[in-house]
Amino acid sequence: MLTHQFIHFAAARFGGAALMLVIALSSCSRPVPKPAVNKVPAGQEYSGFLQSYTNLKPNPDFENTKSFVSSDPVKNIHRYVAVIVDAPEVYVSTNVDQNAIPERGVAALKEYFQNAITNAVADAFPVVQSSGPLVLRLRSAIVGVDVGQATRVDSKGENTLQRPLNIGKVGVEIELVDSETGEQIAAAVDRQDLGQGAEVGSVNFSREEKFRAATVAFDGWAARLREFLDSAHELSKQDVDRIESTNFPY
């Protein structure tokens, strides 16, 4: 009887201690949280966000843009009908201190750009939530974000950022990949300077008149993405000839 009681006591006491030890160890080995933003590597032309830059070529239809559209007969943009829009990534300029970047501002900026992209593509590529056949994944990055001077204390409101995000030299890198295999189907690096003079100084920047230039810039990049998709969907001469020779739609 006494032996039984001892075993119960020991199990309760040392079992609990073992559990605490496991919790302590697991919290020690938890990976260091990833910073909210990435940094453009020094001396590099691109951020490194896209899976591949090797196929990019200057696009004559879009100023300051290099792009790629797969012409593989089996894996090309025409073979897909829906898209998953991933949350954009943010890359700060090489010389920016990542710790000075206000996380709330980055989150607001990401959210705005994701919505802008979604609205721009949704009627042509319905947005879905899960990967599968016929579904593309749209990955995007806002590259070259800078931070401005610390905001004066007396002008701080609840939603005002400690430092504004400067998007004057921002470009956008975007790619469409097969949602199942990750294979790159189309990509574009858009360096059109739509953000000149624009900054984001508040979490609610999309509703504030003084940050209108920033929203215009993001909407502009989203619209250019849509134009890029439209141009990638133009019928080839082969398709036109074939359609003309049939009675479609009958």
Partner 1 sequence: MKSYATFTLLAFLLPAAVEAAEEISTFSAYVDSDICARLMLGPITAERVQCSQGTFKDGAEPVLVRLHNNMVLTVNKEKMLRPLVGQLAQVSGKLKAKDGTIKLESAVGITDKSIPEGDPARRMLDVRMYKTDRSAQLHEKIRHELAMMPYISNFDFISFTQNGPDVILTGWTVRAINRDTAANIVRDIPGVETVINNIEILPLGSFDMDIRARARAALQRQLSRYFWGNGSDIKIIVKHGRVILLGMVSQKSDSDIAFIQCNAIPGVFKVFNLLRVQGSETGA
Q: How far apart are the first and last CA of the chain?
A: 90
Q: Which residue, 109 or 186, has its beta carbon nearer to partner 1?
A: 186
d(CA 218, CA 116): 7
Antiparallel, parallel or unpaired: β 65-69 and 160-166: unpaired
CB atoms within 10 A of CB 163: 17
DSSP secondary structure string, 1-51?
-HHHHHHHHHHHHHHHHHHHHHHHHHHHSSPPPPPSSEEPPTT-SS-S-SS
d(CA 55, CA 69): 9
Q: Output the smallest distance, CB 184 to partner 1, in A.
A: 19
250 binds partner 1 (CB under 8 A): yes
240 binds partner 1 (CB under 8 A): yes
Out of 31, 33, 43, 249, name the contact with partner 1 by CB under 8 A: 249
| Number of separate helices (H) and strands (E) present in the chain | 4, 10
Site for partner 1 in 105-144 (CB under 8 A): 122-126, 128, 130, 132-135
243 binds partner 1 (CB under 8 A): yes
Q: Which residue, 53 or 68, has its beta carbon nearer to partner 1?
A: 68
Closest CA to 41 of 55, 53, 59, 58: 53
Count the site residues for partner 1 by CB under 8 A. 31
Site for partner 1 in 19-78 (CB under 8 A): 76, 78
Interface map 217-236 toward partner 1 (x if CB under 8 A): -------------x--xxxx
Which whole-number Å values give the CA distances from 189 to 31, 95, 112, 139, 180, in the listed order?
31, 21, 19, 12, 23
Interface map 183-222 toward partner 1 (x if CB under 8 A): ----------------------------------------
Q: Which residue, 107 or 223, has its beta carbon nearer to partner 1?
A: 223
Q: Which residue, 41 or 132, has its beta carbon nearer to partner 1?
A: 132
Q: Which residue, 155 or 246, has its beta carbon nearer to partner 1?
A: 246
Q: Which residue, 133 or 197, has its beta carbon nearer to partner 1?
A: 133
Furthest-apart CA atoms within the chain: distance in Å? 95
Which residues are near partner 1 by CB under 8 A?
76, 78, 81-82, 122-126, 128, 130, 132-135, 230, 233-236, 238-240, 242-244, 246-250
